[in-house]
Amino acid sequence: MKKCLMYLFPLLCLSLGGCFWTRSSFDLSTLKNANNIIDVAVIGSGPSGHLAGIYAKRGGMHAVVFEGDMPGGLLTQTSMVENWPGEVAILGPDIMKKLKEQGEKLGVEYIPQTIEKVDFSSWPYKLETSAGETVQALSVVIATGAGPRRLKICGEDQYWGLGVTSCAVCDAPFYKDEEVVVIGGGDSAVEEAIQLTPYAKKITILVRKDKMRAAPRMQEHLKSHSKINVRYDVEVNKIVGDDTKVTGVELFDVKKDKNFVMPTSGVFLAIGHIPNTKVFTGQVKMDADGFIVMTKGRTQSTSVPGVFAAGDVEDREYRQAGVAAGSGIKAGLDALNFLNDIGITPAISEEINARRFHVEEKKEKSPDVEAITSLEQFKSFKEGDKLAVVDFYADYCPSCIQMLPAFAEVAQESQDIAHFAKVNVEDAEDLADQLFISSIPCLMVFRNNELVARYNQAMTKQELVAAINQCASGTSEQS
């Protein structure tokens, strides 16, 4: 091992990336004092992340996938998929379940955390996890996917979680017998509309042009759903409400050249996605829209040698699950080639074992939190001058499930300033109705029976801690 670690490379400029990277940048002797080492750290767990992990592991390297705040990625929010290789029709969440089973079986390690900060300025690369630890990555695959695009119009922020949402899988059950609209004309708009049909009374897809962009086959599916209408040539000007919830959308009829308000109680956004690359700003080259730029031929190389990207973070052209999986395979192979180039063989990887990032330790079972199921229980819970923090969730909501362990950890660590409870909205429908829960996850903070703050989005551990500290100090910023 010592011999391997003392192995110094000649000072040759690597063709992999920027000219300031030389072979001496990857001096294996720096690993001597390093801990928490991962050979191939994959950030994100959509199809590209899984496949990158699978190929890295099968290549003999230690591969860890940080699952992020939506394990399984966007496919977990879709329903039937008809264009996944080898499957006539399969549910999106089932694809992701199978991929994870395959990865686990092959020895890929999955950790239910997000990466909050990266430092690619020197090797090994530093990744800061949502549990506050620093990982030393010998190579990295960025597979953080994309998140829903927002309209950026008046009323959108005010009513976010109070009638405006981008997750039909999570929130459709809150719109039983209601009239709702879906904004967008792509495959996602069709998906969201269909996901709403078991619940809503009437669903109108609002398309800004005179035709939809969705695949003809997807549009064909709409014909078998009598509750769904498509209205063309309408642009959304603003979202209107009564201060507590959405009551309608103001639309501009392009053909008639006039504005009008369409009453609705739910606005489901399906207007495309933007790459989840904020955490990599200033670390790798990106284009003006935040997509990571590929730098070397047909590989998945970024501007930093040993850091690769795959899937929706770098693909503005195809954005298909199958293509993402394929680019994940390429990124996994690229990572193996890189590690081989700098001298990390499977044998050396084996020797580093003692100073590995120990995934099993990090997966220790989270502490549990009191579960509230009735209105009476809830009433007594929020009495008193100590902060009372409640997390509303459902088992079918992927981001809710991801947030629960972080919530439980914060509950344990902050029990001196607040008490905590969770509410499964499926077990406590009356309570959810009474509190106007129309989007999950939803975090509410009370003191002396009064609502202090409400957060209508998934939150990381750091965000939860910051929110609770703000509430405790009386400086909360509700969202």
Number of residues counted as binding ligand NDP (CB under 6 A): 22
CA distance 405 to 410: 9
- 400 classed as catalytic: yes
For residue 78, give the nearest of 273, 223, 265, 208 by alpha carbon.
Answer: 273
- 154 classed as catalytic: no
Which is catalytic among the residues 167, 170, 400, 442? 400
The answer to whether 69 contacts ligand NDP (rule: CB under 6 A) is: no
Residue 80 Cβ, how far from ligand NDP at the closest point, in Å?
7
CA angle 173, 178, 184 (to 5 degrees): 80
The answer to whether 273 contacts ligand NDP (rule: CB under 6 A) is: yes
Q: Where are the alpha helices (DSSP H) in 107-227?
A: 168-171, 187-196, 216-222
The answer to whether 276 contacts ligand NDP (rule: CB under 6 A) is: no
Interface residue with ligand NDP, options 78, 129, 130, 399 (CB under 6 A) = 78
Enumerate helices (H) and strands (E) in the chain, giving the number of each. 13, 24
**In terms of CB distance, is 209 or 379 closer to ligand NDP?**
209
Which residue lies nearest ligand NDP, judged by its C-beta?
186
CA distance 117 to 122: 14
The answer to whether 326 contacts ligand NDP (rule: CB under 6 A) is: no
Return the range that interacts with ligand NDP (CB under 6 A); candidates 78-86, 164-172, 406-414, 471-479: 78-86
Query: Per residue, what are the HEC states of 94-140?
Result: HHHHHHHHHHHHHCCEEECCCEEEEECCCCCEEEEECCCCEEEEEEE
The answer to whether 314 contacts ligand NDP (rule: CB under 6 A) is: no
The answer to whether 221 contacts ligand NDP (rule: CB under 6 A) is: no
CA angle 107, 111, 114 (to 5 degrees): 140
Q: How far is CA 318 from CA 311, 313, 324, 326, in A?
A: 9, 12, 9, 12
Residue 270 Cβ, how far from ligand NDP at the closest point, in Å?
6
**In terms of CB distance, is 209 or 256 closer to ligand NDP?**
209
Interface residue with ligand NDP, options 24, 29, 83, 373 (CB under 6 A) = 83
The answer to whether 155 contacts ligand NDP (rule: CB under 6 A) is: no
CA distance 442 to 459: 9
The answer to whether 184 contacts ligand NDP (rule: CB under 6 A) is: yes
The answer to whether 98 contacts ligand NDP (rule: CB under 6 A) is: no
CA distance 443 to 159: 15
Which is catalytic among the residues 170, 397, 442, 471? 397
**In terms of CB distance, is 190 or 408 closer to ligand NDP?**
190
Place of tokens 């850091």: 307
**In terms of CB distance, is 17 or 184 closer to ligand NDP?**
184
Q: What is the dihedral of CA 406, 408, 413, 419, to 10 degrees?
A: 130
Question: Which phi and psi (to 5°) does residue 399 adopt?
Answer: -70, -25
- Active-site positions? 397, 400
Interface positions with ligand NDP (CB under 6 A): 78, 81, 83, 151, 183-189, 191, 208-209, 213, 236, 270-273, 319-320
